[in-house]
Structure 1
Amino acid sequence: MSVYVVSLLATVGGGCFALLLGRFLGTGRRAVAGEFGGQAQSLIGGVLLSSFILLTGFQVAGSWSALSDARSGTYDEARALADTYWAVGGLAPADRDRARALLRTYTDDVRTTEFHALARGRTSPAAWRDLDAVRAAVWAAPAGTAGPQAAKSAAQSALNTVYQTRTDRAAQVKGRMPRVTWIAMLVVGAFLVAFPALLGLTVTPRHLTALCFVGAVVAFAICLSAQLNTAFRQPFGVRSTAFVLADTRFGQIDAGHYTLSPVPPR
């Protein structure tokens, strides 16, 4: 049986149980007259508020955790790109220059093009091709002596990390919180706003102002949860800062003429 069907049956079952209790136990004079005790109002309101807070907290915490993981992954990839850029410095000059040019092309493509695609829920095929070109260039580079062999091995190891973090990003861009929690949060939020009116809220400026504030808070919480639900969509999504840093590191490595050691300094 589908997990959604089980959740629906459980929800309907809980509602029916409450309906039966209210129907057969709520037969006193106050219930017949339509009066509500303060304790009953506090209990129902507290349950509604707690349910909305629980659902909102689950949404925000889950989305924020996914966003933090995605941001950390971009910095891991940028660090691996810098390691690769450094390592290929130990190859022959022509192979070094070709590999470094391809690394710059890949980094620029991710920074300027792919992040726009990530906001729409997909990766860039061009960036994948650029990265494959880097791997092919490193693989084809001759390494007849110990120095180039060590440089080639270090570059390939760093490129493996780049592929791993990039694959993780391709999975993260499709990640979303379960749809059923959105439905539950919308329903509970709407009933939370409507609850005072259902119990006979008096139409006075003070009461209406307080109710409007409740509605604004509920709407803001739902909106914030929706904005955090996509790891690469702005205003809270991951930005391309890590790849700007990688491009800066490339320039620093070039300026320092570091072309011999396959292992970059930390």
Structure 2
Amino acid sequence: MALLETLAVVFAVALVAAVAVYIKTKLFPLGDGEEIREDVAEYISMMVSVFYALVLGLCLVSVWDNRATADDRVQAEASALHQTYLLADALPAEQRGPVREAARSYAGHVVDVEWPLMAEREPLGDDGWTLLDRLRTAGELRGPGTTAQQIAAQEVLAQIGYVDDARRGREAAAEERLSVVLWAGLVIGGVLTVAFMFLFGLNRSSTHVILVMGLSGFIAFTVLLIHQLDTPFGDPLGVGPDPFTRYFRL
């Protein structure tokens, strides 16, 4: 719906501009001593290219920042989960196994179940949160314990809190999308930029063809790059589950 509204506004503004030009040419035609100024078309073409470059840059920065944030969240989540696994050695003997098993189960669920869902932008569901609650319960100290065990249990819960925060950030990054307004700007600006190249003739048609091909190909490459980066957990440019598989040998 937002895309349709954006296109409607753009079309309305373009229509108003077209009407203004039509009125000007009909009511105030060129005089006998005036000539058609090609530099006006060149100026408009240049401004369209500049604005389109700004839109491209904004889109690239937006999707790249989201991917970088997703990568940072994954690294933080896997690192905190690994620290929880290691801290199990300082807990009472009867709690070490459950904590390690819960940590491995959570990591396996993230890699095997959640990663394909994130690549397809599907909802992750509540299973991951259930496994994290299970890990939190396993890490809580039962009984008074020694001072070292109490400290270790507190650190385990702190690391699980880091896992919780990083997981929320990972889910948010997976759901983040480039604005439909920016996508509209990419498509419309690309079409206008290429179309304006046909307004200016060149002495050699082969040169004109090469220039149009080069510009069109580069714009298509940039738009495809933005599309790939807009899926921060998808192939081939997305963030992979390597931190989890490296720590837990899944």
User: TM-score with structure 2 length normalisation?
Assistant: 0.85
| 1:24 Cα deviation from its structure 2 partner | 1.4
Secondary structure of 2:140 counterpart: helix
| 1:200 Cα deviation from its structure 2 partner | 5.8
Alignment correspondent of 1:91: 91
Alignment correspondent of 2:227: 226
Give the Cα separation in 2 of the matches to 1:42 and 1:215.
19
Give the Cα separation in 2 of the matches to 1:88 and 1:153.
11
Alignment correspondent of 1:67: 67
Q: Over residues 163-213 of structure 1, what are the superposed CA-to-partner deviations in whole Å (9 max), with x where a residue is unaligned? A: 111011111111011101111210111111111224567882221222111
Structure 1 runs of 4+ with >4 Å offset: 2-11, 198-203
Is the aligned partner of 1:109 residue 2:94?
no
Matches within 5 A, 1:1-266: 9=9, 12-13=12-13, 16-17=16-17, 19-21=19-21, 23-24=23-24, 27-28=29-30, 36-37=37-38, 39-121=39-121, 122-123=123-124, 125-139=126-140, 141-199=142-200, 204-247=205-248
When structure 1 is superposed on structure 2, of 140-149 and 101-110 the one drifting more is 140-149
CA contact (8 A) 2:6 2:181 kept: no
CA contact (8 A) 1:173 1:231 kept: yes
The two structures, once aligned, show a CA RMSD in angstroms of 3.0
Give the Cα separation in 2 of the matches to 1:242 and 1:224.
24
| 1:237 Cα deviation from its structure 2 partner | 0.9
| 1:94 Cα deviation from its structure 2 partner | 1.9
Give the Cα separation in 2 of the matches to 1:215 and 1:191.
11
Q: Over residues 103-124 of structure 1, what are the superposed CA-to-partner deviations in whole Å (9 max), with x where a residue is unaligned? A: 1121122123321111011326
When structure 1 is superposed on structure 2, of 152-161 and 76-85 the one drifting more is 76-85
Q: Gapped runs of 5+ residues in structure 1?
A: 251-266
Letter in 1 for 2:178: M
Question: 1:199–1:205: structure 2 CA closer, same or farther, 3 Å change rule?
Answer: closer
| 1:21 Cα deviation from its structure 2 partner | 5.0
When structure 1 is superposed on structure 2, of 200-209 and 186-195 the one drifting more is 200-209
Give the Cα separation in 2 of the matches to 1:69 and 1:243.
17
Q: Over residues 77-132 of structure 1, what are the superposed CA-to-partner deviations in whole Å (9 max), with x where a residue is unaligned? A: 11211221222222111211111111112112212332111101132643333222
| 1:71 Cα deviation from its structure 2 partner | 0.2
Give the Cα separation in 1 of the matches to 2:150 and 2:75.
27
Instruction: Give the total of aligned pairs.
Output: 245
Q: Over residues 11-55 of structure 1, what are the superposed CA-to-partner deviations in whole Å (9 max), with x where a residue is unaligned? A: 73476247525741673269x98x552x22321121111121111
CA contact (8 A) 1:80 1:162 kept: yes
Give the Cα separation in 2 of the matches to 1:59 and 1:28.
42
User: TM-score with structure 1 length normalisation?
Assistant: 0.80
Q: Gapped runs of 5+ residues in structure 2?
A: none
